[in-house]
């Protein structure tokens, strides 16, 4: 289970950086080469984040029962960590659709036009979602190294 949380943490930080790539390159043009290299992996990162988000929903509902039994006590004891854990599954699905859908369509060879239409509706919100993903990834990183608020 530890590896899964590290994938989520690093994946969300990378997804946030990818979604903010235009802003970062606008402020620091010397980072364009590094951003282009990172953008070439955006399909893989998006797919990994999508799978992590879907697993977060399944795990939270059926296995750990986080959403049904643990969420209330955790929000009282450690509210920032509870909120960070609460928002990572839907955020993973959103970023999976935004970043990973072209790669998934390429791998499966199927027509994903209905899902792509939904992803295009989310595209204008990619920068705000990127900021949230970057903050969530950073908070999850702090919790992984046992820094709590």
Q: What are the tens digits of pLDDT across the range 19-30?
A: 999 899 999 999
pTM: 0.83
CB 133 within 8 A of CB 16: yes
Residue spans of alpha helices (H) in 40-123: 42-58, 71-77, 79-95, 101-108, 113-122
Token pair, residue 108, equals: 């499966």
CA 80 to chain centre: 17
97-149 pLDDT, tens digit per residue, is 888 888 888 888 777 777 778 778 888 888 999 999 999 999 889 988 888 76
Whether 51 shows a pLDDT value over 80: the answer reads: yes
Q: How far apart are CA 2 and CA 93, in angstroms?
A: 20
How many CB atoms are closer than 10 A to CB 84?
23
């Amino acid at each position: 289970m530890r590896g899964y949380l590290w994938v989520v943490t690093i994946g969300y930080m990378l997804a946030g950086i990818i979604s903010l790539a235009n802003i970062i390159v606008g402020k620091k043009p010397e980072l364009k080469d590094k951003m282009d290299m990172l953008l070439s992996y955006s399909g893989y990162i998006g797919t990994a984040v999508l799978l992590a988000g879907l697993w977060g929903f399944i795990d939270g509902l059926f296995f750990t029962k986080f959403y049904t039994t643990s969420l209330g006590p955790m929000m009282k004891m450690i509210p920032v960590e509870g909120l960070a854990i609460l928002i990572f599954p839907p955020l993973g699905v959103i970023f999976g659709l935004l970043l990973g859908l072209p790669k998934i369509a390429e791998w499966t060879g199927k027509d994903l036009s209905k899902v792509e239409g939904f992803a295009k509706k989310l595209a204008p919100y990619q920068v705000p979602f990127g900021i949230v993903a970057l903050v969530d990834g950073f908070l999850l990183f702090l919790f992984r190294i046992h820094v709590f608020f």
